[in-house]
Structure 1
Amino acid sequence: MTELLRISHLTKAYPGVVANDDVSFTINQGEVHAFLGENGAGKSTLVKIIYGLVKPDSGTMNLHGKPFAPSEPRAARASGVAMVFQHFSLFEALNVAENIALGMEHPPKMHALAQRIRQMSENYGLPLDPYRTVGDLSAGERQRVEIIRCLLQNPKLLIMDEPTSVLTPQEVQILFQTLEKLKKEGTSILYISHKLEEIRRLCDTATILRLGKKVTTCNPRKETTRALAEMMVGGTLHIPERTPHAATEVVLGVQSLNLRSVSAFGTALKDISFKVHAGEILGIGGVAGNGQDELTAALSGELKTTAEMVQFKGKSIGHLGPPARRDLGVLAAPEERLGHAAAPDMSLTENAMLTGARRKGLVQKGFLDWPKSRNFAEAVISRFDVRTPGPDNAARALSGGNLQKFVIGREVLQDPDVLVVNQPTWGVDASAAADIRQALLDLAANGAAVIVISQDLDELMEISDTFAALNEGRLTKPVPAQGLTVDQIGLMMGGAHDMEIAHV
């Protein structure tokens, strides 16, 4: 195969950490090349170097056999490198064509651009209406906007960061067909994902990083999922174990919950009803933007409802705010880690105190008990293997995956009666994801009612006792998770609210 990109001895260090340590590998033309590694392994830094967002301390890159050192993303794009980020950069109030025009150096007239968008999207099986407002699009459709924006640049290397995290199973199949077509046309794809089965199915080569260093390059199709995960972590991968338990009393009940979204482009909740028992994990699936954030807020108390719509052990709590619900034992961890679940510029000790002050007794006679708060933060760091210099480190200094471990651990260690978690393992590596799932299973085994809202269907099927799907603010009737097929789940996520689930 013809070599497209050669990375030679790249090193990038930050204060206290070497993000990339003498990394070398190659990407060939028409190859789907995976980056694998734990959170903090150096994947993001390496991609940012390739895309011109970060300058390496040493080492070289060659593209098409010529020196390649983009000073900014614009220079990378001009050289044929495009990137679809995990978090979309779209303006919701603008239409598709207007968003795409903003990313072009010299956009054509809007009518001509709309024609190009239609043609490109149809050619690659990603149909888009260029005049639709982005705020009205599903998460999968928004991703199409990002992909088409890249393809209009005619890239030679397309970088994709966690591209299937917001997609239904059917949308994943469509995306893979698109990537296979690009591959046949000679486009190289650098694919970053924590979903190892996807890597084994789609990718020709995988470069594995650990603690900033390249561990190996392999053919992922010749390795098992477990073998890939253990290469990443450098040891034996823990597989979550479920402890048999019987669901008993109803701990949380939701009855005819209706709630308008506070966002102009949010999703209103419509007549949602369900019950969660002590010791039960209810998994709620759905494509992003179908009411997940609104449901989390309604259950946590950030958005108040009529009192009777939410009940805790038979007591109406819909009118109560988050502090009062926390006092009762109803805790939550929202999806957005930085800025919502954690204050970016506060230390981990301060962030531990923000939600744990009352349940962990971190306030004495009106004064904060800093030694006790620090001990609580250290307990979370130790129990959930949060990679950080210490509890005095600011939340924004942590990698996304390590901050996620801290946020989930902070709530779990407060021994809730009800825990609502939204996207508990988003962007978290295989080992950390296994630890978080085990913590949720252990919490349920000890009698807590757990609600897991996630776009990772494998995760939901692994830990859930019952499953329901959100679609346009409506929730399907919860059904036993065991025996559900991918097709059945896809139908539920697509809005089949009244379907009868025939288990196999």
Structure 2
Amino acid sequence: MRGGKYIAECDPTQETSKSLAEMMIGTNLTTPRHDDGSKRGPVRLKVHNLSLDSHEQFGIDLNLINFDVRGGEVMGIAGVAGNGQVELLEVLSGEMLCDEAEHLLLEGTPIGKLNPTERRELGIAFVPEDRLGHGSVPDMSLTDNAFLSSYGQKKLISNGLINHKKSTQYAEEIVAKFDVRTAGVTHTASSLSGGNLQKFIVGREMLQDPKLIIIAHPTWGVDAGAAAAIHQAIIDLAENGAAVLVVSQDLDELFAISNRIAVIAEGRLSVSRDIKEISIEQIGLLMGGTEGSGSQKEAQSVA
């Protein structure tokens, strides 16, 4: 079924995952077009010797995290849930502050003590894991949700007042470019399905043309067609010069879009490896912690 209508029937033993997905979404699926990473620019984000105690009772402490992300590339971080991803995302977004500002550098500028708003003003965008309540305010309209994280970059304030016309136009642009299925931008975030809300939040952050974007689980809960579109949008954003950091448990996703991959396990991050130099089996071993974290080697490699 598709859109409430009977479409077709088939023998699943005679079909592939791709052909079944194409029946479900009503269009052809395309594999994301990926460059070889040869156009990588200077380092945008550098994380240096980051250690941080979790504020959650059952959280994971971060231990000597070291990595960098360059303009023009997508870096993926893989890992089994509950190995420090939440804490790493919080410290990168500014929800948790570093002990020393120099643990995080954006184009050489220490940002470890800056709050989320100050980091956004420097050109950082962020797609959180929890889209309803963290990435959006459920009872606010799509227009207001578009405004919340974009008013600075998109200049949605005029003379100290919200420019409702520009905010509405921006929300409509997101809906159009990311195929968000909604009755209108005056409707609330909670009125959208999970997949459509995910597309809206991803689009809202990407259309700000960030220097650096940090994305947690970019295609969680979206259909195969939307996932392919989001993957291509991530790759296109990197090819236009942005630095992209993706945290995901989906290894197929990370291998489809990343130039480099590192693995987080028990609060430690492995050495990042070029996508052509590592296999899913090696990633699996690192996720299980059987090959060690490589934190000290990574520290030397990015020093």
What's the TM-score bracket when you normalise by the shorter of the two chains? over 0.9
CA distance in 1, matches of 2:148, 2:137: 9
- The one-letter amino acid paired with 1:422 is A
Tell me the residue number matched to 2:186.
Answer: 392
Q: How far 1:481 moved relative to its partner? A: 1.4
CA distance in 1, matches of 2:117, 2:74: 23
Of Structure 1 and Structure 2, which has the larger fraction of its residues in strand? 1
CA distance in 1, matches of 2:249, 2:91: 19
User: Is the counterpart of residue 424 in structure 1 residue 218 in structure 2?
Assistant: yes
Q: How far 1:296 moved relative to its partner? A: 1.0
CA distance in 2, matches of 1:382, 1:446: 21
Q: How far 1:280 moved relative to its partner? A: 1.1
Tell me the residue number matched to 1:345.
Answer: 139
Contact between 1:296 and 1:332, CA under 8 Å: does it hold in 2?
Answer: no
Tell me the residue number matched to 1:411.
Answer: 205
Tell me the residue number matched to 2:292.
Answer: 497
Structure 2 SS opposite 1:273: strand
User: Is the counterpart of residue 336 in structure 1 residue 130 in structure 2?
Assistant: yes
- The one-letter amino acid paired with 1:382 is A
CA distance in 2, matches of 1:279, 1:301: 23
Spell out, residue by residue over 1:248-269, the C-alpha distance to the aligned partner (whole angstroms, 9 max, x if none).
2111000011112222122121
Contact between 1:293 and 1:334, CA under 8 Å: does it hold in 2?
Answer: no
Q: Name which of 419, 433, 440 aligns with 2:234.
A: 440
Tell me the residue number matched to 1:147.
Answer: none
Structure 2 SS opposite 1:359: coil
Contact between 1:238 and 1:434, CA under 8 Å: does it hold in 2?
Answer: yes
Tell me the residue number matched to 1:224.
Answer: 16
Q: How far 1:483 moved relative to its partner? A: 4.3
CA distance in 1, matches of 2:87, 2:13: 40
Q: Name which of 67, 70, 88 aligns with 1:277.
A: 70
- The one-letter amino acid paired with 2:3 is L
Tell me the residue number matched to 1:36.
Answer: none
Q: How far 1:494 moved relative to its partner? A: 1.0
Structure 1 gaps of 5+ residues are 1-208
After superposition, the Cα gap between the structure-2 partners of 1:347 and 1:483, relative to the gap in structure 1 and judged at 3 Å, is: same
Greater Rg by CA = 1
User: Is the counterpart of residue 249 in structure 1 residue 42 in structure 2?
Assistant: yes
State how many pairs are aligned. 292
After superposition, the Cα gap between the structure-2 partners of 1:498 and 1:288, relative to the gap in structure 1 and judged at 3 Å, is: closer
Spell out, residue by residue over 1:115-138, the C-alpha distance to the aligned partner (whole angstroms, 9 max, x if none).
xxxxxxxxxxxxxxxxxxxxxxxx
Q: Name which of 289, 298, 302 aligns with 2:91.
A: 298
What are the equivalent positions in structure 2 for 1:378-389 lying under 5 Å apart? 378-389=172-183
Q: How far 1:498 moved relative to its partner? A: 4.7
Structure 1 SS opposite 2:169: helix
User: Is the counterpart of residue 311 in structure 1 residue 102 in structure 2?
Assistant: no
Structure 2 SS opposite 1:293: helix
Q: How far 1:239 moved relative to its partner? A: 2.5
CA distance in 1, matches of 2:103, 2:39: 26
Tell me the residue number matched to 1:15.
Answer: none
Identity %: 49
Q: How far 1:473 moved relative to its partner? A: 1.1
Q: How far 1:288 moved relative to its partner? A: 1.0
CA distance in 2, matches of 1:353, 1:262: 30
Contact between 1:424 and 1:452, CA under 8 Å: does it hold in 2?
Answer: yes
Q: How far 1:345 moved relative to its partner? A: 0.3
- The one-letter amino acid paired with 1:461 is F
Tell me the residue number matched to 1:211.
Answer: 3
Q: How far 1:221 moved relative to its partner? A: 3.0
Spell out, residue by residue over 1:56-80, the C-alpha distance to the aligned partner (whole angstroms, 9 max, x if none).
xxxxxxxxxxxxxxxxxxxxxxxxx
Tell me the residue number matched to 2:301.
Answer: none
TM (normalized to structure 2)? Answer: 0.93
CA distance in 2, matches of 1:398, 1:234: 21
Tell me the residue number matched to 2:54.
Answer: 261
Structure 2 gaps of 5+ residues are 298-303
Runs of 4+ with deviation above 4 angstroms? none
- The one-letter amino acid paired with 1:267 is I
CA distance in 2, matches of 1:366, 1:341: 24
CA distance in 1, matches of 2:105, 2:269: 17
Contact between 1:243 and 1:442, CA under 8 Å: does it hold in 2?
Answer: no
CA distance in 1, matches of 2:57, 2:293: 28
